[in-house]
Chains A and B, each alone.
Chain A
Amino acid sequence: MTAPRTPFPIPRRGLIGFALGALAAVGVAIALLAGRSASAIAESPAGTQPHHVRVVWTESPKDSATIAWSTREPGATHRVLLDREPRAGDRARYERTVVATRNGDYARLPEEASLAFHHAVVDGLQPSTTYWFVVESDGVASPERHFVTAPADTRAFALLAGSDSRSDRAQRRAMNGLLRARFEADEQVIALLHGGDYVYDGLSLELFAEWLSDHELTTTSAGRVLPIIPTRGNHESRGELFDQVFGWPGGPVGRNWFACRLGAETLLLVLNTETALGGDQADFVRDSLETARDRRWLLASYHQPAFPAVKDPSPALEHWVPLFEEYRVDLVVESDGHVQKRTVPIRGGRAGPDGVVYIGEGGLGVRQRSPDATRWFLQEPGFARRGHHVWRIGIGADAIELEAYGEDGARTDAARISGKRE
């Protein structure tokens, strides 16, 4: 007679082992998510002393800019004092006052201290003009700084481009030092095009506060602020901090795409790969490129690459690349891969002389990866390397001059894109 079987007998050792493994995984997850050093907000100036001063460009930087800053306390009155002449911080002499119309507390994780944001949208500016300004909260003012508006004519200019600063502060600060050096040495540089992934956890105010402090390192010793054209990355996800830091560029969460007109001949589409790429956003790309047929230079920037040096292609390959090729976009700036890359000109899924060039992919601080050198679009004359870098995109009358610089300041790549349109 056989021994009776127990109902629902399960190998106990197996289940216990699996349960322990699952618990260990959950424990690791909690430890990783909970472990975070908290100091950036505590280090912020007390009261309503303005800090984290930044200038943000979106659609029309020749005549408009958002000046943003932070304060520890929310305060009551916040404004920007602006002039076309330096006033050495003498607030009574500035010719113009702009009230900050967007004020509030940054979103934060439950265990984080609070910090307030303030945005003043300054319109009616003159192109290619230096504006000296101070920001003031409840009567407490920042040191005087200045920025130069974008041109409206056909003069040559340059953008610094990079992304994936992430959260290695030492490396990020080193790269910001490189940005400042390039900005100080190069009169043509007008702004930084950031392709996203500013910090590791885009929901953490502590991490974003660190980024904001480090971003101030890009201001020159003379007090010239490097305007930033921001893109949303996957580490910003769909959180509201990105919008609160950069003034809701291109619209609320779920949008964050816009067409930036630089000079008389350049259109830069800043797009968002963290929302649907088809549908409304693809319609926007098509409509913008259709109405920009008179523009000599068409550029685009977004985070997750269509022609990645390491990862799989993002949906941009399906939804946007056909539009880029239809309208003969000149240059696309991609991010996310943590490598330096420049593709061959691409059209119809192969190299072609009048194709679109894609550069990237994120070297402003994050640990770098080794590119997959076997990918067809990285073969010569394309290029890829492992290493921190920043791109200089020089827009001229006849060509786009591309240069990449490594963290030691040495040039690591150079290329030229000729015009496709008269």
Chain B
Amino acid sequence: MGDRPQRDRRAARVTEWILRIAIAIGALGLAARWLPSSRAVAGLLYLDHGWLGEGAAEAVDDGLFVVLAAAGLLVLRPRWRFGLLIAGLLALLISVATALRDGAWPAIVPVEQAVRYVAPLALWLWFDRDGRTRPDLDAMLVFLLRCGVAATFVGHGLEALHHNPRFLDLVFAASRRCLGTPIAQANAEALLTAIGVVDLIVAALLVVVRWRAVAAWMAFWGALTAASRMVHSGVGAWPETALRALNCGAPLALVFAFTLPRKAPPPVGDVA
């Protein structure tokens, strides 16, 4: 009977470190992509609204980049929570800034990027002040991760059903480079429709049932789709793959987190 708490805390540690590593990789990928090209915050401040001059707006972006990169590294420090909070808040800020500048479907951006800010927050909340995971908050962690991962799959699933042009281009490139044969647009669109349906189904399953197989499939699919960015654009597109680390890491963490008890253990010292 004493083995169960030990197994649970081992599973908790594995869950914690999968998330830490994925958050760190995601933060570094986001910083690496953000600074040279995306500059969503600078675009908002300077180009779109002229609130700041170009230099000042880019200085804000540069500062946020440094903070984000530092947070990504700090996430790996055991028992440190602060980096998680910063990484999560900056991921949320970038998501909102990107949505404000996205003409096609702005509302979907925070949904499909949900895991990037929900996972760090969930991990931050899971720790006590000494940086140890709290068994009484295991259920909260699992709940938040399920929501974040499900939202991300819902967002991507809806984009796939709408035949997002960028998704189509990924399919074209993958077919040409991996299978050695081009795929007709009609077939690529049909494939995206099927992918979208599957994404929505697994998102619903993740919320409704605690099946490790579903989480494992989502981890596999998250890794595959993240890697597709480098298949499409080459090794230089590694930030696009890295910033999607949580698309794989969060459901993978759930594979282990699903073994944690559903209910909080009784407080130590209570006598029935």
Q: Which residue of B lies closest to A279 (CB)?
A: B185
Q: Nearest Cβ distance between residue B34 and chain A, in whole angstroms?
A: 11
> B136 — which chain A residues lie within 8 A by C-beta?
5, 7, 9
B104 touches A278 (CB 8 A): no
> B158 — which chain A residues lie within 8 A by C-beta?
none
Whether B218 is near chain A, meaning CB under 8 Å from some CB there, is no
Q: Nearest Cβ distance between residue B37 and chain A, in whole angstroms?
A: 4
Whether B80 is near chain A, meaning CB under 8 Å from some CB there, is no
Q: Which residue of B lies closest to A32 (CB)?
A: B100
A372 CA to B163 CA, complexed, in Å: 33
Contact with B along A357-370 (1 / 0, CB 8 A): 00000000011111
B103 touches A202 (CB 8 A): yes
Q: Which residue of A lies closest to B48 (CB)?
A: A200
* A79-87, A178-186, A232-240 - interface stretch: A232-240
B165 touches A277 (CB 8 A): yes
B contacts with A: majority SS: helix
- From B49, B50, B165, B188, A274 is in contact (CB under 8 Å) with B165
B233 touches A237 (CB 8 A): no
Q: Known contacts being A203-B103, A237-B103, is A315 close to B166, with CB within 8 Å?
A: yes
> A10 — which chain B residues lie within 8 A by C-beta?
125, 137, 140
Whether A2 is near chain B, meaning CB under 8 Å from some CB there, is yes
Whether B256 is near chain A, meaning CB under 8 Å from some CB there, is no
* B70-78, B91-99, B202-210 - interface stretch: B91-99
B96 touches A8 (CB 8 A): no
Whether A124 is near chain B, meaning CB under 8 Å from some CB there, is no
B233 touches A317 (CB 8 A): yes
Interface residues of A in 55-89 (CB under 8 A from B): none
> B125 — which chain A residues lie within 8 A by C-beta?
10-11, 14-15
Q: Nearest Cβ distance between residue A23 and chain B, in whole angstroms?
A: 11
A213 CA to B96 CA, complexed, in Å: 33
Whether A338 is near chain B, meaning CB under 8 Å from some CB there, is yes
- From A22, A28, A200, A278, B173 is in contact (CB under 8 Å) with A278
16 further interface pairs, Cβ-Cβ under 8 Å (given A238-B104, A239-B103): A1-B269, A1-B270, A2-B267, A2-B270, A10-B125, A14-B125, A25-B96, A168-B50, A200-B48, A202-B103, A276-B165, A279-B184, A308-B37, A310-B37, A311-B38, A338-B47
3 tightest CB-CB pairs across the interface, nearest first?
Answer: A278-B172, A279-B185, A237-B103
